[in-house]
Structure 1
């Protein structure tokens, strides 16, 4: 989906501030939030990593931007627990003592119908174009590279195709590629000459540009 979570290439957010010797958790509640993310996937198989990622993507934009990492984790995980019927919103709000914001519902027809690519169609050195598609559901092709042409520099092993996996569809595996893009191909004159960006992309996201 085209949401506020897809921040790659956006301007105006300032530099990334790195905290020296940063702990994994700053507060105890963050440990619980992390556990709520892992438990449904590992213990009860209520969802998968792609479905979880999409639950975070569905957060309201203002809530997403105002939240730290573990608040996003908490929102995504509890949204899935409510959607799976494992806990109710009323129970969460009673425990929290107030409003407990969840992510928006999954949209209708969230997946773009892309043919399954079970064999690797591209090789190192091939020129490829990223499909300019905009599904309302989960997608792992960043918005900044869709419609752009790059070069395959590595063919990686197969991984589960996230667009269908996130929505209970066919659990198919496809090859992924490390595709290198010229910075100015992505951002025009705002890109630095000579700089490149490497993006991991599934086979179904690509077409030949030769």
Structure 2
């Protein structure tokens, strides 16, 4: 889906701040949230695409103001409510106040019927699809062309997997883009590699 979560390639947010010695966890509750969502996936309560999509569905102001593990907590709580594990009222009673959840999910989709098997060396273009549900297509490559330089084994198709829809697994193609094609007036010359699902591509 097109949402606030898809920040890749967007400008205006300043430099990316990072530290090679950054802590993984800052508070004990973050460890519990991380363990709980990992357990939920292991037990089959939801899968990782559903988990990611519930984060994508967060209200934009909440998403931008939330920490990494607050986003995880929102996704975990939203999916547990949607799947009948607990209720929002129970969450708010334990929290002692409001407990914001993600917005309802939009419909997903199955595999694209016209997809083609590609090979290394093929020149491809990313389709200009706008998908209301879960999608693993970064917005900055939509409509752009590149060259296939690698092929990965088939994997659950996220547009379907994030919505409980039956679909065939698809390979991802390592597509090499020229940075100047992606950001024509604001990039130094470089190659950008993106793993792109088969349904998102067509021959250039």
TM-score, length basis structure 1:
0.93
Structure 1 runs of 4+ off > 3 angstroms?
none
Structure 2 counterpart of 1:188: 184
Give the C-alpha shift of residue 113 in structure 1. Answer: 6.2
Give the C-alpha shift of residue 19 in structure 1. Answer: 2.9
Alignment partner of 1:152 is 2:152: no
Deviates more, 1:196-205 or 1:12-21: 12-21
1:167 aligns with one of 163, 167, 171:
163
Give the C-alpha shift of residue 20 in structure 1. Answer: 4.2
Alignment partner of 1:55 is 2:54: yes
Q: d(CA) in 1 for partners of 2:16 and 2:9?
A: 13
Structure 1 counterpart of 2:33: 33
Give the C-alpha shift of residue 128 in structure 1. Answer: 0.2
Gaps (5+ residues) in structure 1?
A: none
Q: 1:71-130, CA deviations, whole angstroms, 9 ceiling, x for partnerless residues?
A: 0000011100000010110111111111101000012x333762275xx71111110001
TM-score, length basis structure 2:
0.95
Name the CA shift for 1:116/1:166 in 2 (closer, same or farther; >3 Å). Answer: farther
Q: d(CA) in 1 for partners of 2:70 and 2:89?
A: 19
Structure 2 counterpart of 1:208: 203
| Cα RMSD after superposing both structures | 1.5
Structure 2 counterpart of 1:125: 121
Count of aligned residue pairs for this structure pair: 204
Q: Is the 8 A contact 1:34 1:73 kept in 2?
A: yes
SS of residue matched to 1:178: strand
Q: Is the 8 A contact 1:56 1:76 kept in 2?
A: yes
Alignment partner of 1:95 is 2:94: yes
Give the C-alpha shift of residue 23 in structure 1. Answer: 2.2
SS of residue matched to 2:174: strand
Q: d(CA) in 1 for partners of 2:194 and 2:154?
A: 16
Q: Is the 8 A contact 1:75 1:102 kept in 2?
A: yes
Name the CA shift for 1:188/1:66 in 2 (closer, same or farther; >3 Å). Answer: same
Q: d(CA) in 2 for partners of 1:65 and 1:196?
A: 29
Structure 2 counterpart of 1:66: 65
